[in-house]
Amino acid sequence: MRRLLVLLLPLAAAGAEPAPPLLPLRDGRVLHGRKVERRAKEAVLSTDFGKLHVPASELSGKAPAPAPPLPPLRTEKTRWLLIEHDLPEERARLYADQLDSFFEWMVSVYALDRDRVTKGAPYGVKVFRRREDFKRFQRENAPDIEKKGQAFAEGVAGFYSPGHGKLFLWDAEGSHGGFHLEVAKHETTHLLNDLLARQLALSLPTWFDEGSATYFSMFVAGAGPEPEDHPGAAAEVLGDLDGKKPMTSRELRSVPWENFHGREYSWGWALVRFLRRQGNGGAWGGLLDYLRTISAGPVTDSEERRFLDAAGFKSSPEFDRAWHEHLKATRTAERQYVGTSPEILGKIAAIAKPLPAMARDFARIGVSLARVHEAEPAVVYLRAALRGGILDAEVPYELARALALLAAAPEDAPWPDDAVAALREAVRLAPLSSAYRLALGRQLLARRDLDAAYAELGLSLVLLSPSDDDIASALGCLRAAARREPARAVDELAESLAESAPGAAPALRAAAVYHLQDGQEWEKLEDLIERRGTGATAEERAMLAGLYGLTDRDEEALAIWREVASSDPRYWPDVVRCLLRMDRKADAKAALAEAFAAVAKAPPEQRWIRRRLERIRVE
């Protein structure tokens, strides 16, 4: 018997299906496929959706090790900065151009003593291409960042260390070809804040340090008299004002550094914006003038009071009304952009081949204009940048969006041919970007080119990185698959796609639910979640309870609501409402008391559940 086993084992191994090859990349991703062909300058990964040509420079050469050695760094020197990096040559020049022009502008903004600043130059910057290398460096050299919480620390993409006197950055935008370099400018502002504090013997308050970094991080040379508004900060501040929960100046300045990682960033941005723009910048000039009149001396905590006096906080209610009204006016405020007159645009359009430095400037200005929906001038600048040989994929991507805006074409409708051609160029320049393939795939789907859409959206699944919108990619690919094979059940399609892109399996599972929900196929959705049984997520179980409620199966709905609420307090309001719908007021009252007790133990970010409960009337 032992001899028979010895003979059979090799046969069984020979007949087994080989494991699909894995292709590890330098950025930490591991791509799944059917076959890998390695060539001198690239590797070709054959997938179920098509072939991916991966440049040899993007390959890690082996599976990621727990602690790989930090890569050798090259240097790029400018007037103000010495940049150590392991970036491609074009990205290194981008950092040098962007940060040097930003630093020069900020010396004037802060009215720093230029001689003193020059003596300290060049200031150190270290840029890591891989997130893993940056995070390892961060954990070893800036452990204090974790005082704000582990989740916050994991989201950090750059920091300034006064002890080292350097900036440390992860090129987070590099994976998709972006070149606004918001994180780099944010951290450079912290460096300049440190120089300001030293020159004025001043202790800067946290709201100003983080608020100014958020405000000035949106600077683009030549795009306007001030940085463009930070979209996330503006949305949060205006939302808080609409919701009658603004932060006052006194409240903002009382938040200590270790707790300053939520809405305080946005409100710090808002207060700096007010100082910079109120009265044509008079408040900002007055602030700096006042600080300079104080004789220099040892820096103490009381020095912050000087800053508060200089900023105009002597009468908080009046001051708060002024800057809150200023923020509300941003909804309709119109900005004048430098370089958007017909004469200048005509001259730019006439340049047959801009020089490289000029092309990089055109690219940055064009992207900035596209982001604020100034589509016509954005198109002129971005096309000129491409004529100048710019190889950043964000340029044709933003050009595509600007052309679609000019044609008044929404995202889910077919865009003009030149816009789709620009998307194809973005994919060509960044073939490993899931985001650009997703955009192209959506457009091909809108044009009913199902096979091509399926290929691009499928490759976007294979290429997913932690920073990508995996649900959007999964849903897009599932929709393309469903149109190609309308007779197959959506969950079967999702399982089939998961075999081709194992990393996207959870997103595809959720996408199947969204697909049926979007199509209002309630019976199929109910059947799908029921079949998943205990393997369904809490959100899916809650959705099933809602479907039961629509078909008068309240007892079954109530059982599910109670089950999910026991582990997730978000669903307690649904428990109480279900009991009220069943006319069980006594039980609803008892459940409401139980809900308040459960929410009292919930973390601070779930306080909104209590507000929902307070709006329920049991009597």
Instruction: Answer for the pair 338, 223: CB distance below 8 angstroms, yes or no.
Output: yes
Q: Which regions of 207-273 does DSSP assign to beta strands (E)?
A: none
Handedness of CA 575, 576, 579, 580 (dihedral sign): negative
CA-based Rg of the chain, rounded to a whole angstrom? 28
- Taking the C-alpha atoms of residue 219 and residue 102, their distance in angstroms, rounded to an integer, is 7
CA 290 to chain centre: 38
pTM beyond 0.85: no
SS (H, E, C) 67-100: CCCCCCCEEEECCCEEEEECCCHHHHHHHHHHHH
* Report for 157-171, 308-322, 443-457: range of highest mean pLDDT: 443-457
**161-215 pLDDT tens trace:** 887 889 999 988 876 667 788 899 999 999 999 998 888 777 778 888 999 999 9
Q: Say how far apart CA 498 and CA 505 lie, in whole Å.
A: 5
What is the pLDDT averaged over residues 472-487? Answer: 90
Compute CA distances 484 → 445, 448, 454, 518, whole Å: 11, 10, 8, 18
pLDDT at 458 over 60: yes
Q: Return d(Cα 181, Cα 189) in angstroms, integer.
A: 12
The token pair at 285 is 């000039």
Read off the pLDDT band of 295 (50, 70, 90).
very low
| Higher per-residue confidence, 609 vs 34 | 34
Identify the pLDDT of residue 187: 94
In whole angstroms, give the CA distance from residue 277 to residue 290: 18
* Cα–Cα distance for residue pair 435/446, rounded to 1 Å: 17
Size of the chain in residues: 619
Is-contact 463 432, C-beta < 8 A? yes
**pLDDT, tens digit (0-9, with 9 covering 90-100), for 393-443:** 989 999 999 999 999 988 888 999 999 999 999 999 999 999 999 999 999
* Cβ contact 95:125 at 8 Å: yes
Which of 213, 210, 206 minimizes the C-alpha distance to 227? 213
More confident residue, 285 or 384: 384
Q: Are 257 and 149 in contact (CB under 8 A)?
A: no
- Dihedral over alpha carbons 96, 186, 195, 116 (to 10 degrees): 20
Cα gap 93→432, rounded to integer Å: 22
pLDDT of residue 237: 86
Q: How confident is the model at residue 606 (pLDDT cuts 50, 70, 90)?
A: low
Amino acid at 133: D
* SS3 category, 170: strand
For residue 285, count other CB atoms closer than 10 A to its CB.
14
Do the Cβ atoms of 177 and 433 come closer than 8 Å? yes
Contact 319, 313 (CB under 8 A): yes
120-176: pLDDT as tens digits:
989 999 999 888 888 888 888 888 887 777 767 777 888 998 878 899 999 888 766
Share of the chain above pLDDT 70, in %: 86
| Pairing, β 81-85 against β 123-128 | parallel
Give CA–CA dist 120/140, Å, rounded. Answer: 26
Identify the residue whose tokens are 């998709």. Answer: 176
Encode pLDDT of 554-577 as tens digits. 888 888 888 888 888 888 888 888
**135 CB burial (10 A radius; 0-12, 13-18, 19+):** middle
The candidate with the shortest Cα–Cα distance to 31, out of 79, 78, 63, is 63
What percent of the chain has a predicted confidence (pLDDT) above 90? Answer: 25
Banded model confidence at residue 338, pLDDT cuts 50, 70, 90: low
Task: Specify whether the CB–CB gap between 438 and 476 falls below 8 A.
Answer: yes
Q: What is the mean pLDDT of residues 109-114?
A: 91
- Write out the H or E segment, with its range, that includes residue 23: strand 22-24
Joined together, the tokens standing for residue 83 give 């940049």
Q: Is the pLDDT of residue 231 over 50?
A: yes
Helix-then-strand count for the chain, H and E: 29, 10
- Give kind and range of the element (H or E) at residue 124: strand 123-128
pLDDT at 2: 32
212-230 residue pLDDT tens: 999 999 887 666 678 888 8
Mean pLDDT of 321-349: 76
- In this prediction, residue 300 has a pLDDT band, given cuts at 50, 70 and 90, of very low
* Bigger pLDDT: 10 vs 89: 89
More confident residue, 250 or 459: 459
* Nearest in space to 385 (alpha carbons), one of 376, 374, 372, 394: 394
Taking residues 583-611, what's their average pLDDT?
A: 81
> What confidence category does residue 368 fall into, taking pLDDT thresholds of 50, 70 and 90?
confident
Task: Report the C-alpha gap between 494 and 510 in whole angstroms.
Answer: 9
Which pLDDT score, from 0 to 100, does residue 261 have? 80
Predicted confidence at residue 62, as pLDDT, reads 53
Distances (CA, A) of 483 to 33, 453, 474, 489, 513: 24, 11, 14, 11, 16
In this predicted structure, the answer to whether residue 299 has a pLDDT above a threshold of 60 is: no
Query: Which tokens go with 426?
Result: 């973005």
Mean model confidence pLDDT for the chain: 82
What pLDDT was estimated at residue 545? 83
DSSP 447-481: TT-HHHHHHHHHHHHHT--TTS-HHHHHHHHHHHH
Q: Residue 213 and residue 446: Cα distance in Å, rounded?
A: 40
Domains present along the chain, CATH in parentheses: 2-58 (no CATH), 73-200 (3.40.30.160), 201-335 (1.10.390.20), 536-619 (1.25.40.10)
- Average pLDDT, integer, range 251-256: 82
What is the pLDDT at residue 607? 67
Write the DSSP string, 416-454: PHHHHHHHHHHHHH-TT-HHHHHHHHHHHHHTT-HHHHH
Looking at the predicted structure, is the pLDDT value of residue 616 above 90? no
Find the angle CA(442)-CA(459)-CA(390) to the nearest 5 degrees.
Answer: 75
Report which DSSP code applies to 20: P
- pLDDT band at residue 258 using 50, 70 and 90 as cut-offs: confident
Q: What is the mean pLDDT of residues 362-389?
A: 86
Give, in order, the Cα–Cα distances in Å from 310 to each of 242, 298, 547, 560: 29, 18, 59, 58
